[in-house]
Structure 1
C-alpha cells in the first residue's frame, strides 16, 4: 500500500486524494496480500500490474504506457485493454510505447515509429506497421501481430 501512496504522491496528487483511491488501485491490481509486501519481493509481472494500476487510477491528463499491457495473465491483459479503452474515450492523451503490433493497430489513432532515437515514420498505425514489418523483414504472422 505504501507503494500506491508513493506513486500517487509522485503523480502530483495530495495525500488525501491518493488515500481515497488506494483501495481501488490495490483491488484492481489483484495482488491480494502481496499489496503489503516489499516491492523487492514482487515478480516483474506483479510490479507491472501495480504500476499500471497506479498510473490509470490517478486520472492523469497524459498517460504514457510503455509495454505494460504485456504483463500479467490473459485475464489481466483483457482488463488492462478495457481500462485503456476507457481512458481513450474519456478524452485523455494516451501514448502507447510498444512493439506489440496488434495493440498498436487496435488502440492507436496515430503512430510514430522510432528507430535509433529518430522518427522513421509518422503515419497511420497500419502504414507504420506495414513499413516496420518490411524493414525488419518479417511477415504479419500471429507471432508478430499478437502480444505474446
Structure 2
C-alpha cells in the first residue's frame, strides 16, 4: 500500500509491503533532505518504521543506518545521473543513463529474506556519516528533478 508522510512540510511517498518498504526518490524527497539529511533521514526512517509496525504488527527487520545508507546512495546516484545528463549531450549516453535512473527512482528496501543485497547496505551502514557528508548540501531539486 502506498502512503504519503507529511514531514517538515514535505510529502514523502512510501510503499509498505510485508518485509519491504519502497521509498520514492522524487523532488519532494530531495527538497526534504536538502541540507539537513542527517536529522531528516532519522525522522523519516523512524516514522516509516513506526507505521510499518502498526500496519503489520511487527517491526521491519532492517536497521535504521542500513535503510538510510540504501536510500541515500540511490538518491545520490539519481542526482549524479540527472546532473550528468544535463552536461553530456550525447543522445545514446543520455538514453542509457535514463534507463539506469529509472531503477534509482524507487528504492526497494527489503529484509534479508526478500532482498538479496541487504548484506551490502548492512555492511555500509557503519559508514552512514561518510555517505551523508558526500551528499550535496543543495540538491537543486527544482532545477534537476522534474517529477
Is TM > 0.5 for Structure 1 vs Structure 2?
A: no
Higher relative contact order, structure no. (Cα contacts within 8 Å, ≥ 6 residues apart): 2
Larger radius of gyration: 1
TM-score (norm 2): 0.30
TM-score (norm 1): 0.30
